[in-house]
A and B are shown apart, each in its own frame.
Chain A
Amino acid sequence: MAALVIAEHNNQSLKAATLNAVAAALQCSPEVDVLIAGNGSDAAAAAAAQIVGVRKVIQIDDSALADQLAEPLTAQILSLASGYSHILAPATAGGKNVLPRVAAKLDVAQLSDITKVVSPDTFERPIYAGNAIATVQSSDPVKIITVRTTGFDPVAATGGSAAIEKAAVAQSAGKSSFVGRELTKSDRPELTAAKIIVSGGRGLGSGEKYQELVVPLADKLGAALGASRAAVDAGYVPNDYQVGQTGKIVAPQLYVAVGISGAIQHLAGMKDSKVIVAINKDPEAPIFGVADYGLVADLFTAVPELTNALS
């Protein structure tokens, strides 16, 4: 049977993580449909129709879906669920929020954060902050899956030409309502899709030093900005910068860790990066255990020096 991918989008455009979820779906079934549930979402649906490998796009447009609240979104997915053997979403804040709600209604388990499709009913997923990899098999009639984007190379965003089919909106109780959002404004690449990431930790000592040292280096490299939990907890940067077990999971070509000691939960979020650079004054810091290139140095002099050297 076919697989359904719940697209992550903002009505205008698709989030890149959708492409990784489609890649995982294609390993579960040759027939992959994409759901665009939104409000004024024609542009997002048109983008989804171009994804290579997609059979059809199902578009459900309604004002109740404008803000991707879990309950109305769940109702739409449930209205389509009977036609599918697999329902997948990227393991983003959005996918994690909605899919367990769908699974419970269908009385099936969810497979969270899969990193590999072994067969259509068997998957690999990291547990214990990635310190172990479990191979799990589901006996449920429908597999509800969130996809760790770093585990699957994205399919091509353009080149396909799937049909867009509009479906009727399913009603939901409407016991929650959207109040507002504060988005972190940035011209930089999105953290989970960036080729290069520069992350700062508590070694920086303050939010000012983060701005003064990490930001110019990231500018020079065209990099996204990340941070350790300690730096976020200390208020140096907003929450959405956090890389780690419970923050964002990233795997860029180059990850530069500045003043990050390398707690287990941070390593869980970045150890699949292709090349890791660590700059830390403590030679015993665990970050050096995963770094390809380690520099034991005072970051307050080494980071500006590095930024200059890249000019």
Chain B
Amino acid sequence: MKILVAVKRVVDYNVKVRVKSDNSGVDIANVKMSMNPFDEIAVEEAVRLKEAGVATEVVVVSAGVTQCQETLRTAMAIGADRAILVETDAELQPLAVAKILKALSEKEQAQIIILGKQAIDDDSNQTGQMLASLLDVPQATFASKVVIADGKATVTREVDSGLETIALTLPAVITTDLRLNEPRYVTLPNIMKAKKKAIDIVKPEELGVDIAPRLKTLKVEEPPKRSAGVMVADVAALVEKLKNEAKVI
């Protein structure tokens, strides 16, 4: 069984981004870039399924600029077998990425496709659901536990009121939540090994998909600033402020 995993290169989660002065976007020149944290969990899950003998091959895909190769190398250092980069400098929105992944999933005949539930840059939380829809396969979003057996995926999902478990016939799309697993530390020998693994580079046109953006960003602004408040000396002062100044208790 083959697993396809999608990974996105994003601004590292520790970086506080700045809005550009011309309000055209955020400044990502010279900031640290990393694999989207939810995608790292996706790669880890796929590799664990391979280690458990459930999967035979883990193929990792990224779509975007040339530098996404670094992200793919990281995924292969975690344990993915090979990589595909759909290379483009164009802006890619979730629907376009879903179309790219649909083309690759069909070509690779993947039985399970695992993605992060959302990317921490655009916070869209769409691509996995869109991919499942385009492929006409079932989906399990926000997964915290995945069991594959007898041609089925049984997935526990994190929902607003607790946990929910659903069963999907394969092929299926799974998106990861934070507590699915804790990705391993990548070791130097594995980084070296990953350098020898193959990255296929294809262009979106070769896949025959329309990647034209549908949403136009008119401007990007700083959120309204919250002015820093006051420090209180003790609990009594806090209670006094809450009662008489803020009047919230």
List residues of chain A with CB under 8 Å of any chain B CB. Answer: 67, 69-71, 74, 92-94, 96-105, 107-113, 122, 126-140, 173, 175-184, 192, 196, 221, 229, 232-233, 238-240, 245-246, 248, 253-254, 264-265, 271, 274-277, 288-297, 302, 305-306, 309-310
Residues A306 and B139 in contact, CB atoms below 8 Å apart:
no
- Distance between Cα atoms of A295 and B238 in the complex (Å): 8
Q: A137-B216, A175-B169, A176-B138 are in contact. Are A131 and B17 (CB under 8 A)?
A: yes
Across the interface, which residues of A come within 8 angstroms of B17, CB to CB? 128, 131-132
Across the interface, which residues of A come within 8 angstroms of B241, CB to CB? 293
- Distance between Cα atoms of A55 and B122 in the complex (Å): 34
Residues B179 and A129 in contact, CB atoms below 8 Å apart:
no
Q: A138-B215, A288-B231 are in contact. Are A177 and B117 (CB under 8 A)?
A: no
Residues A309 and B26 in contact, CB atoms below 8 Å apart:
no
Listed A/B pairs (20) with beta-carbon separation below 8 Å: A69-B166, A74-B133, A93-B158, A93-B160, A100-B130, A101-B133, A107-B95, A108-B214, A112-B126, A127-B123, A175-B137, A176-B169, A178-B165, A181-B162, A238-B163, A264-B16, A275-B242, A288-B231, A292-B229, A294-B229
Asked if B199 lies at the interface with its beta carbon under 8 angstroms from chain A, I say no
Asked if B107 lies at the interface with its beta carbon under 8 angstroms from chain A, I say no
Residues A291 and B229 in contact, CB atoms below 8 Å apart:
yes
Asked if B29 lies at the interface with its beta carbon under 8 angstroms from chain A, I say no
Across the interface, which residues of B come within 8 angstroms of A175, CB to CB? 137-138, 168-169, 172
Residues B129 and A104 in contact, CB atoms below 8 Å apart:
yes
In B88-105, which residues have CB < 8 Å from any A CB? Answer: 93-95, 98
Q: A127-B122, A240-B160 are in contact. Are A173 and B249 (CB under 8 A)?
A: no
Residues A297 and B234 in contact, CB atoms below 8 Å apart:
yes
- Distance between Cα atoms of A67 and B166 in the complex (Å): 10
Across the interface, which residues of B come within 8 angstroms of A245, CB to CB? 120, 123
Residues A94 and B214 in contact, CB atoms below 8 Å apart:
no
Most buried by B among A98, A102, A133, A248: A133
Q: A175-B169, A239-B144, A264-B16 are in contact. Are A103 and B218 (CB under 8 A)?
A: no
B139's partner among A70, A129, A294 (CB-CB below 8 A) is A70
- Distance of A228 from chain B, by nearest CB (Å): 12
Asked if B136 lies at the interface with its beta carbon under 8 angstroms from chain A, I say yes
B142's partner among A93, A177, A181, A265 (CB-CB below 8 A) is A93
B94's partner among A92, A100, A265 (CB-CB below 8 A) is A100
